[in-house]
């Protein structure tokens, strides 16, 4: 691995991404073995430091580290304690003093991970920084698409919903375009950032139009916790216009893959029939998340150079 830390997909080149996905292919079978344990990371210590809530990302990192034989521990912080630079640096120094090798952090501020990386020798992994990036989510999404479709090159991937506040969308746009997918965004004008077309994507404000011949449709959660009021009239109205349902799937390719990073709001961004339906890859995304994180932990701790 060329990089010491994983701060964003933006920093990776196509080769880096493919290398991570290929390593994850080798890691996935470990999850199906009887002992679910290897010694690749024996003696390594991973800390999860989350300043925002999380279910699957944190558990996924913990399990990935455990499958590889690492020791894991978790620092709980309240989502309301907005941590200032100094406090974060103090935390970093404490971790350093305890001999931590890997810090997986989620933080509401965009620059927080880069700040931490400047003060720590440990490997820093971004588990979500505000609305900026969620690199491991995009890696697991790309892994899932490639596993199902064989390649990402030339695929039409529609990302629908609250693009403005979505770090998942941003990381996926960086990654999918690097791997040659055609990325189409769909959402209300108030939830699509101005100038996003410069990232090499197409923008639609009509989901059914966007979904024509789609190979993949990715729904996003409405990030109510990050929104100021007035960006759309009501959740019901949002669902009528941008909810992913049978009418949307009808115009996509027959084998369209439906994805969602979770947590899903059933009946808002996607109907229950679609979430649980045969095109849905939502549960597989969760499984693949562990494999991708195993690959990353392995690559960053065993092969990393500063």
Binding site for ligand ASP (CB under 6 A): 128, 134, 167-168, 221, 261-262
Query: Are the C-beta atoms of residues 238 and 188 closer than 8 Å to each other?
Result: yes
Nearest CA to 51 out of 97, 112, 99 is that of: 112
Least separation in angstroms between residue 160's CB and ligand ASP is 13
Q: Which is nearer to ligand ASP, 159 or 168 (CB)?
A: 168
Closest residue to ligand ASP in the complex (CB):
221
C-alpha 87/C-alpha 21 separation (Å) is 35
Least separation in angstroms between residue 233's CB and ligand ASP is 21
Least separation in angstroms between residue 58's CB and ligand ASP is 10
Q: Which is nearer to ligand ASP, 92 or 168 (CB)?
A: 168
Beta-carbon count within 10 A of 82 CB: 11
Q: Which is nearer to ligand ASP, 262 or 267 (CB)?
A: 262
Residue 120 DSSP label: -
Beta-carbon count within 10 A of 260 CB: 25
Least separation in angstroms between residue 288's CB and ligand ASP is 14
What is the Rg, in whole angstroms, of the alpha carbon atoms belonging to the chain? 19
Q: Which is nearer to ligand ASP, 30 or 112 (CB)?
A: 112
Angle between helices 282-302 and 135-149 (to 10 degrees): 120
The phi, psi pair for 65, rounded to 5°, reads -65, -40
Q: Which is nearer to ligand ASP, 168 or 259 (CB)?
A: 168
Long-range CB contacts (within 8 A, 24+) of 3-6: 3/300, 3/304, 4/117, 4/123, 4/300, 4/304, 4/305, 4/306, 5/113, 5/117, 5/123, 5/124, 5/125, 5/126, 5/300, 6/124, 6/125, 6/126, 6/135, 6/136, 6/296, 6/300
Helix (H) or strand (E) holding 50: strand 45-50
Q: Which is nearer to ligand ASP, 60 or 91 (CB)?
A: 60
Report the phi/psi class of residue 267: left, alpha or beta, with left for phi > 0 and alpha for psi in -120 to 50. left
Nearest CA to 62 out of 302, 293, 300 is that of: 293
Least separation in angstroms between residue 220's CB and ligand ASP is 6
Q: Which is nearer to ligand ASP, 5 or 171 (CB)?
A: 171
Which residues are CB-contacts of 224 (< 8 A; sequence separation ≥ 6)?
none
Q: Which is nearer to ligand ASP, 225 or 255 (CB)?
A: 225
Residue 153 DSSP label: T
């Amino acid at each position: 691995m060329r990089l010491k830390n994983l701060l964003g997909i933006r920093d990776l080149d196509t080769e880096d991404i493919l290398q991570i996905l290929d390593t994850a292919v080798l890691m996935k079978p470990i999850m199906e073995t009887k002992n679910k344990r290897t010694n690749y990371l024996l003696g390594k210590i991973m800390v999860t430091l989350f300043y925002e809530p999380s279910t699957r990302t944190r558990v996924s990192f913990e399990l990935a580290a455990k499958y590889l034989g690492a020791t894991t521990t978790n620092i709980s912080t309240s989502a309301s304690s907005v941590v200032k630079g100094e406090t974060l640096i103090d935390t970093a120094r404490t971790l350093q003093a305890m001999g931590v090798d890997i810090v997986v952090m989620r933080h509401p501020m965009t620059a927080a991970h880069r700040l931490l990386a400047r003060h720590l020798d440990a490997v820093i992994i971004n588990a979500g920084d505000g609305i900026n990036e969620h690199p491991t989510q995009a890696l697991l999404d790309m892994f899932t698409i490639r596993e199902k479709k064989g390649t990402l090159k030339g695929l039409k991937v529609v990302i629908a919903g609250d693009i403005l506040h979505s770090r998942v969308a941003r990381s996926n746009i960086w990654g999918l375009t690097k791997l040659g997918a055609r990325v189409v965004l769909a959402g209300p004008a108030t939830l699509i950032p101005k100038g996003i077309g410069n990232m090499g994507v197409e923008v639609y404000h009509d989901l059914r139009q966007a979904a024509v011949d789609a190979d993949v449709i990715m729904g996003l959660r409405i990030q109510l916790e990050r929104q100021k009021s007035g960006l759309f009239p009501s959740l019901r109205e949002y669902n009528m216009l941008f909810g992913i349902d049978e009418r949307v799937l009808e115009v996509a390719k027959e084998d369209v893959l439906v994805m969602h990073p979770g947590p899903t709001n059933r009946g808002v961004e996607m109907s229950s029939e679609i979430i649980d339906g045969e095109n849905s890859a939502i549960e597989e995304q969760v499984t693949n998340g562990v494999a991708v994180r195993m690959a990353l932990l392995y690559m960053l701790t065993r092969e990393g150079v500063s």
